Amino acid sequence: MEMTLKSLSVLTGATLRGDPEIAIRGVATLQDARPGDITFLANQRYRSCLADTRASAVILSAEHAEACPIACLVTDNPYLAHARVLTAFHPQPPVASGVDPSSVVEPSASVAASASVGPGCYIGADVVIGENVEIGPGCVLLRGAVVGRDSRLVASVTLGHETRLGERCLIHPGAVIGSDGFGLANDDGAWVKVPQVGRAILGDDVEIGSCSSVDRGAIGDTVLEDGVKIDSQVHVAHNVQIGRHTAIAGCAAIAGSSKVGAYCTIAGGAGITGHVELTDHVHVSGVTSVTRSIREPGLYTGTVPAMEHGVWLKNFARLRQLDDMARRIRKLEKALADLRSDETPSQ
């Protein structure tokens, strides 16, 4: 595939500087780009690579345009423009519609004519698969699951019964959506299962990463609104609600019945405890535990940074003495104040 720089400028809405007829044949990083590639500068960290790139053109913001030795596309959001160019150069390979004969489809399931069901799948009773949906190899859709049009289950995805996916969803291998949540009642020490009779409901344009779990609701549903993006190895527990366009990075977890607002970001390894509420535009740092509701937008952090082991050993034993330390500081302050007031008359 080959596109002119001009056509890429139209595609991205960016301002072109340089020869509009330059032929672009691929996208690469500043360091790896070769002639014929377009590259991008979206992270200040890589700014110094600009001078030496072998790319034919670069996508960048106005502030770097002056320093740019080659043709460029100037835009407020170079990373977004790069995503659009990359998408143009890497169209999803078309998949033939129809059901692979190795798959088992229950008679009451409905598979749209334009949809594709790959090899080794199971499509349960009353499942509904919309137009242009691609169900990759090895997927299991239990009874009553619904997959909205243009969605794609890459491979090895499992949808629990009655799970609902909106349109243009993208679900990666190993993800399990709509499995039972962890509901247990205690009967004199032993646990009795609380049937999980709610569903997992995903809006449009939701992406779920590999090996992630989105559990079904207990009573009532687990809901991921439009545009929610979830990385690999994430756990969304029962009855969680996640607002639109919130992104959750790898290994994060949202415990049961919590509500995360819209336009939030939850960084990798972070955890939100159960039964709390995060308002819109809350950003949680990596490996941070949110233990109570957050009502103000902003960035919240509780990460404990690694240190040399000896430094840790010496200091972290003090964590259980913090209160004592604080009380002793208070006592010292008081004693010192007393001492000073004792002195005053003696002067």
Catalytically active residues, by annotation = 238
Spatial distance between the Cα atoms of 63 and 272, rounded to a whole number of angstroms = 38
Residues 6+ apart with CB under 8 A from 137: 100, 118, 119, 120, 121, 155, 156
Site for a copy of itself in 91-150 (CB under 8 A): 93, 100, 102, 104, 118-122, 124, 136-138, 140, 142-143
Is 298 near a copy of itself (CB under 8 A)?
yes
Shortest reach from residue 114's CB to a copy of itself, in Å: 21
The amino acid at residue 195 is P
Task: For a copy of itself, give the closer residue by CB, 66 or 107.
Answer: 107
**Interacting residues with a copy of itself between 46 and 65 (CB under 8 A):** none
Which region among 14-22, 60-68, 108-116, 337-345 touches a copy of itself (by CB under 8 A)? 337-345
Q: How far is the CB of 66 from a copy of itself (least distance, A)?
A: 24
- The tokens describing 313, both together, are 């050993």
Q: Site size for a copy of itself, by CB under 8 A?
A: 135
Rule CB under 8 A: is residue 295 a binding residue for a copy of itself?
Answer: no
Instruction: Find the shortest distance in angstroms from Cβ 168 to a copy of itself.
Output: 10
Tell which positions 2-41 bind a copy of itself, by CB under 8 A. Answer: 27-29, 32
Contact residue for a copy of itself among 231, 242, 259, 260 (CB under 8 A): 231
Looking at 16-24, 57-65, 108-116, 247-255, which segment touches a copy of itself (CB under 8 A)? 247-255
Of residues 260, 237, 242, 251, the one with CA closest to residue 183: 237
In the sheet that 164-165 helps form, which strands lie side by side, from edge to edge? 110-111, 128-129, 146-147, 164-165, 200-202, 222-224, 241-242, 259-260, 277-278
Instruction: Give Cβ neighbours of residue 148 (< 8 Å, ≥ 6 apart).
Output: 130, 133, 164, 165, 166, 167, 168, 169, 204
Residue 274 interacts with a copy of itself (CB under 8 A): yes or no = yes
Assign residue 86 a region: left if phi > 0, alpha if psi is -120 to 50, beta otherwise? alpha
